[in-house]
Amino acid sequence: MNYSAYSIKDLRKGFKKKQFSSEQVVKDCINDIKDDKLNAFITICEDEAISKAKEADKKINEGIELPLLGVPISLKDIYLTKGIKTTAASKVLNNYIPQYSAPAVEKLEESGAIIIGKTNCDAWAHGSSGENSDFGPTENPYLEGYVPGGSSSGSAVSVAKNLCFASMGTDTGGSIRLPASFCNVVGLKPTYGRVSRYGVISMASSLDSIGHFTKNVEESALILSITAGNDPKDGTTLSEKVDDYESYLKKDIKELRVGMPKEYFSDGLDIRIKNLIEQKLRDLEKLGAKIEIISLPNTEHGTECYYIIQPAEVSSNLGRYDEIRYGNGRENFGDEAKRRIMLGTYVLSSGYYDAYYKKAMQVRTLVKKDFDEAFKKVDVIITPVSPTLPWKIGEKVNDPMAMYLSDVYTVNINMAGIPGLSVPAGFVDGLPVGLQILGPHFSEGKLFQVGQAVENL
């Protein structure tokens, strides 16, 4: 059976009306994953998922209500899952079986979700295309031979191709928003510290955000209402109250002030993408939104500094993966990981620290200030997610700089720690284009409000 037209709500209604069981849905999804040629999954949790589905069916029959009861979801293979192999798409961890699960995963399971599999991604979440996976690249579901965006490539594809109903990803510099944009799904990067990072393999600790992919904005709000919250195990999560996100979905956007940062609509942007996003902005204007051109003057420097701070943290975070502990020597790190380890080690070395890392952290403060200033004038900011359309697999693998530049519109959001929501904006030449909605810290509700309006256009 094909569930592409089914939302999570529809699925749950179907369960209740006994149109199908969770077990049946899970089995259908697993078959679809097996048949799929896009290489979206590294591990399929067949036995575990089916047995969990049976339990879910029992609960459904007992009338137990849980927001994701019986709903199959997938996890980027960077989320630790107790007893289930977790590789970070790297050969270094090709046989690593965690002793514990990430609290975000536990929360989803407590809400009834069924983990159907672990998705492919760029190894250690390093990349913008999904091609850095040691388990082979994932392909774009819309055009053969094109990249799906990375690093959470398999997660975006798993939702876009209806292999599951939602997927957890991570976003350190755009790794959720970019593949969401390239695969025509909704991707949320929450505020830094909104969702616990515990049990999710760290890439760059001060930038990593724990977010997700869904088919629509409403479901994005639903998942966040489950994963968000303070976690005593993660000292960087904040005690801010978790909003009633779904209550924002019905709000209109009259008088909403929308900022359009000129730096995000300049020369490097594909004109076709520009036209598409500007059309969406005009449509929002018709609904009563006030569009304002704003400036985020440190955008360019922010991007440069991201590529100092991020590798610095990567070089330290990857230090623990050695042969003694994990059975695979450091020579198993791929080129991109090695590149970041070397870059990061260099910028942290004595004599260079002040010139690179320290300076970059100062610029980071300026980037944050840019957004703080902007949000005094506007409620949200709308920008394209990527300056280009998805590219062909292999096109940029030998040009790391070109690959890094695909992140220019996303990395500063991580530098500032603010939330960003990528929603589908249409197609150019058969390839999806996304737009991202940005707001101040903890304004996810507002992003869903605007995202819903864009989705309704």
- Catalytically active residues are 76, 151, 175
79: helix, strand or coil: strand
What six digits make up the tokens of 377?
A: 């004038």
Judging by DSSP bridges, how do beta strands 257-261 and 186-189 pair with one another? unpaired
Closest CA to 44 of 75, 10, 1, 20: 75
How many residues touch another protein under the rule CB under 8 A: the total is: 40
User: Distance between alpha carbon 75 and the CA centroid of its chain, in Å?
Assistant: 11
Q: Rounded to whole angstroms, how far apart are CA atoms 124 and 121?
A: 8
Among 349, 362, 365, 456, binds another protein (CB under 8 A): 349
Nearest approach in angstroms of CB 60 to another protein is 32
Cβ closer to another protein: 197 or 280?
Answer: 197
Q: Which residues of 46-75 are buried (b: 16+ CB within 10 A; e: fewer)?
A: bebbbebbebbbebbeeeeebbbbbbbbbb
DSSP string, 234-282: -TTS---PPP-GGGGTT---TT-EEEEEGGGGSTTS-HHHHHHHHHHHH
Nearest approach in angstroms of CB 80 to another protein is 5
Cβ closer to another protein: 296 or 341?
Answer: 341
Cβ closer to another protein: 351 or 430?
Answer: 351
Residues 388-447 close enough to bind another protein by CB under 8 A = none
* 217-256 footprint of another protein as x/- string (CB under 8 A): ---------------xxxxx--------------------
Interaction between residue 63 and another protein (CB under 8 A): no
Whether cis (ω within 30° of 0) applies to the bond prior to 4 is: no
Nearest approach in angstroms of CB 333 to another protein is 13
Residue 335: partners with Cβ closer than 8 Å, 6 or more residues away: 132
Nearest approach in angstroms of CB 156 to another protein is 22
Judging by DSSP bridges, how do beta strands 431-438 and 380-384 pair with one another? antiparallel
Among 204, 223, 363, 380, binds another protein (CB under 8 A): 204
Nearest approach in angstroms of CB 243 to another protein is 22
Is the Cβ–Cβ distance between 260 and 281 less than 8 Å?
yes
Interaction between residue 102 and another protein (CB under 8 A): yes
Nearest approach in angstroms of CB 201 to another protein is 5
Among 21, 158, 167, 202, binds another protein (CB under 8 A): 202
Residue 246 burial class via C-beta count within 10 angstroms: exposed 0-12, middle 13-18, buried 19 and up: middle
Q: Rounded to whole angstroms, how far apart are CA atoms 345 and 343?
A: 6
The counts of H helices and E strands in the chain are 15, 11
Residues 140-179 close enough to bind another protein by CB under 8 A = none
Cβ closer to another protein: 96 or 404?
Answer: 96
Residue 213 burial class via C-beta count within 10 angstroms: exposed 0-12, middle 13-18, buried 19 and up: buried
Nearest approach in angstroms of CB 130 to another protein is 21
Cβ closer to another protein: 7 or 345?
Answer: 345
Among 22, 39, 86, 299, binds another protein (CB under 8 A): 86
* 297-336 footprint of another protein as x/- string (CB under 8 A): ---------------xx-xx-xxxxx-x------------
Is the Cβ–Cβ distance between 170 and 78 less than 8 Å?
yes
Cβ closer to another protein: 200 or 228?
Answer: 200
Residues 256-295 close enough to bind another protein by CB under 8 A = none
Interaction between residue 206 and another protein (CB under 8 A): yes
Q: Rounded to whole angstroms, how far apart are CA atoms 453 and 440?
A: 19
Is the Cβ–Cβ distance between 300 and 66 less than 8 Å?
no
Q: Which stretch binds another protein (CB under 8 A): 52-60, 96-104, 127-135, 401-409?
A: 96-104
Cβ closer to another protein: 146 or 333?
Answer: 333
Interaction between residue 96 and another protein (CB under 8 A): yes
Amino acid at the residue 15: F
Q: Which residues bind another protein (CB under 8 A)?
A: 80, 86, 88, 93, 96, 98-100, 102, 197-202, 204-206, 232-236, 312-313, 315-316, 318-322, 324, 345, 348-350, 353, 357, 361
